Chain A
Amino acid sequence: MTTAVERFDDEARRRVAAHGRTIVHDGELLRHPVYTRLLHWAVAIFFLLAFLSGFALYTPWLYHALTPIFGGGPTTRLLHPWFSLGFVIAFALQILNWATPMLWTPADSRWLKRIKTYVSNEELLEPADVGFFNGGQKLYFWTIVASALVFVISGLPMWFPRTFGRGAVAISYVLHDVAALLMLVGFIVHIYESTAQQPGTFQAMTRGTVSKRWAWTHHPAWYRDATGRNPREDYERAAARESDRR
């Protein structure tokens, strides 16, 4: 990344932070600052709009159900590329914002190897090397980056068919669908993991904080970096206190 881009990213983060605040209560840690939350929900809103207007045109079964939301077929078609443009711009800023914490590390490869035990909830605590984002989150992030790229590359010929020609549109049509399906699966998993599956996660994107328990359970290496304490020892101390109380 060039320094100019880094400076832009830092400046945006600083300016947005000056207009908002994150209240961190006792026993909590700051997870996502204002700028990250703002970008996340901008991306989410544009995503939902582009997603609904896109799937309205995806198949005749959804055309009936979804086009009325946007005022009928013609307006759905008219608005879809603009929603998508909003998504792409907001997500490009999020890529800048998250490029460093989303970098793939050996710990993520190890995480991916033990994804089975992760999915089956076999271990109560994540291994000590799981940082700010785990391998699954990074995989989801880079999947969205890849599908967003495919969306843009295949979306332009469909937006301007006369400039790009028949052949380009015929291929783009398929690529756009593949990217949409990939994103749909990722989106469903993302919502499940961040709400019902892992209690205490959703507030990280609303209030911006998580409990320390949440942090040492799901992201112990980040807990160690953020607090300078040993996540395992803190967990054991808390567990002992809980059993005393009973």
Chain B
Amino acid sequence: MPSGTLQIRAISGHSGSVPGAGAHREEEVCKYVDVTTCIGCKACEVACVEWNDMPFGKTTFDNTYQTMPSTAWNYWNLIKFNEHPRDDGSLMWTMRKDQCMHCEDPGCLRACPAEGAIVQYANGIVDFNQENCIGCQYCVTGCPFDIPKFNSATKKVYKCTLCSDRVGQGLEPACVKACPTGCLKFGTKPDMLALAEKRAGQLREHSGFANAGVYDPASVNGTHVIYVLHDAKNPEMYGGLPASPRIPTTFTMWKSLAKPVGLLLALLAAPVAFFHYIAEGPKEPQPPSRGDQP
């Protein structure tokens, strides 16, 4: 998103007010994924691999419409295929685009101990800087969506960048650009949420999906990728989308509070020892020798 600092404040020789004065630019971006209109064509998968210039790996055929079991360090975007039994015994096919959710409260960033390896931009994109990554994989543990993937050759972790390089230039992510059905859209968070709510309402009222809704989980303060689901009450049916994604307390309470406090308490032993010496002095061998050894 272009920076607001180049917004015009005053114009020479111009009568009246400055055009656009006081206009507010919404900075937070969002990818909208309408699971109900995805046809599973995988154009987004190919576009992702191409734009990010990733070496193409082998796919796995397991008699489904899914390219491989899960995303990989060089495959950041995967259409998860699932067969969901309906009440009448027939099967419903679901295609959910699985990629980094760009959480507002990112568990990967909380878990990371390496300075600058993970950043969150003002527009909400969570990005990995591999040159600062130390390969500890704590982000893998911190992520509630199992997204960061380790490359054992480079000892670095990789994931979807929401095409931060494209978005920075005012373009949409590669996956959105490639989508032929319009089930992927990109814009500001409020716009995408409004669109998603509208679509979910349509599904409830006209398509018979009484539980249709928007997936924007509050347990991570919302995400910058949102889904429209036929059944928002049961996100698990879309290839294990967690109903309430949680960052382990290891990386919240423990890391941000108990760890530094614990270290300070432990280090207290040093001044205690020092002042013990000052107050009590050393324990000399007795009797204190004033001449030769005994």
> Which residues from chain A sit less than 8 Å from chain B, CB to CB?
25-28, 57-61, 63-64, 73-74, 76-78, 119-121, 124-125, 158, 161-162, 166, 169-171, 173-174, 177-178, 181, 184-185, 188-189, 192, 196-200, 211-214, 216-218, 234-235, 238-239, 241-242, 245-246
Interface centre among A26, A74, A162, A211 (most CB of B within 10 A): A74
Asked if A242 meets B290 with Cβ closer than 8 Å, knowing A73-B134, A121-B280, the reply is yes
Q: In the complex, which of the residues A73, A74, A166, A198 contacts B141, with contact meaning CB atoms closer than 8 Å?
A: A166
Are B286 and A239 closer than 8 Å at their CB atoms? yes
Are B290 and A197 closer than 8 Å at their CB atoms? no
Are B290 and A174 closer than 8 Å at their CB atoms? no
Number of A-B contacts (CB under 8 A): 148
Are B286 and A235 closer than 8 Å at their CB atoms? yes
Kindly state whether residue B260 has any CB partner on chain A within 8 Å. Answer: yes
**With a CB–CB cut-off of 8 A, which chain A residues contact B137?**
161-162, 169
Give chain B nearest CB distance to A240 CB in angstroms.
Answer: 9
Give Cα A179 to B113, complex, Å.
Answer: 18
**With a CB–CB cut-off of 8 A, which chain B residues contact A57?**
113-114, 134, 136
For chain B, give the interface size range: 35 or more
Q: Give the nearest-CB partner of B280 in chain A.
A: A121
Are B277 and A192 closer than 8 Å at their CB atoms? yes
Question: Per DSSP, are chain A's interface residues mostly helix, strand or loop, or mixed?
Answer: helix
> Which residues from chain B sit less than 8 Å from chain A, CB to CB?
113-115, 117, 132-138, 140-141, 146, 150, 155, 248, 250-251, 254, 258-260, 262-263, 265-267, 269-270, 273, 276-277, 280-291, 293-294
Are B293 and A211 closer than 8 Å at their CB atoms? yes
**With a CB–CB cut-off of 8 A, which chain A residues contact B284?**
199, 217
Give chain A nearest CB distance to B158 CB in angstroms.
Answer: 15
Query: Can you identify 23 A-B contacts, CB atoms within 8 angstroms?
Result: A60-B113, A74-B135, A76-B134, A119-B280, A120-B280, A161-B141, A170-B141, A170-B248, A173-B251, A177-B258, A177-B262, A178-B262, A192-B276, A192-B277, A211-B285, A211-B293, A212-B293, A212-B294, A213-B286, A213-B293, A214-B285, A242-B287, A245-B291
